[in-house]
């Protein structure tokens, strides 16, 4: 998975079940403009089938002016859409971070990397393929 034009923090947890060879990794990304480490670099996360990617949207509990609160639309795109940062090139909206003052805390979206999904909005992934996410900031 590649993501560009975002800032993030990353936390990786690896969980291993006793007496089994199942390893699940959870990759967590917090989208915000405040962290500038990856503004000019691509961000690559290598995942395996059954791993998860958790996306946390910006959240504000204080009385920050509405126009300063960050909002994003995250798109899954093909390689051309990724390199041109254009979601209209065979891309589709995956998630929308549009509630920065949610009373229940930050919005969280989870992507499970699985071969088959029982959910209509789920996405099926194939080993060895690259998948690209980009985001569009809007005030």
Which pTM was predicted?
0.69
Lowest-pLDDT choice from 12-21, 31-40, 50-59: 12-21
Please report which confidence band the pLDDT of residue 32 belongs to, taking 50, 70 and 90 as the band edges.
Answer: low
Report the alpha-carbon distance of residue 30 to residue 35 in Å, rounded: 10
Please list the alpha-helical segments (H only) found in 24-116.
79-84
Q: How many domains does the chain have?
A: 1
Q: What is the pLDDT of residue 135?
A: 81
Half-sphere exposure at residue 125, Cβ-oriented, CA atoms within 13 angstroms: 20
Asked whether 31 and 72 are in contact (CB, 8 A), the reply is yes
Q: What is the CATH number of the domain that holds 10?
A: 2.60.40.420
Q: What is the pLDDT of residue 26?
A: 62
Structural domain that includes position 31: 2-138
């Amino acid at each position: 998975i590649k993501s560009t034009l975002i800032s993030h923090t990353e936390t990786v947890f690896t969980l291993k079940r006793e007496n089994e060879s199942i390893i699940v990794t959870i990759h967590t990304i917090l989208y915000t403009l405040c962290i500038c480490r990856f503004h000019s670099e691509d961000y690559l996360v290598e995942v395996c089938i059954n791993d998860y990617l958790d996306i946390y949207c910006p959240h504000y509990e204080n009385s920050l002016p509405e126009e300063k609160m960050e909002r994003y639309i995250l798109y899954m795109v093909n390689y051309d859409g990724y390199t041109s940062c254009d979601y209209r090139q065979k891309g589709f909206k995956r998630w929308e971070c549009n509630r920065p003052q949610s009373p229940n805390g930050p919005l969280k979206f989870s992507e499970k990397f699985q071969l088959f999904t029982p959910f209509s909005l789920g996405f099926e992934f194939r080993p060895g393929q690259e998948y690209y996410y980009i985001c569009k900031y809007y005030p």
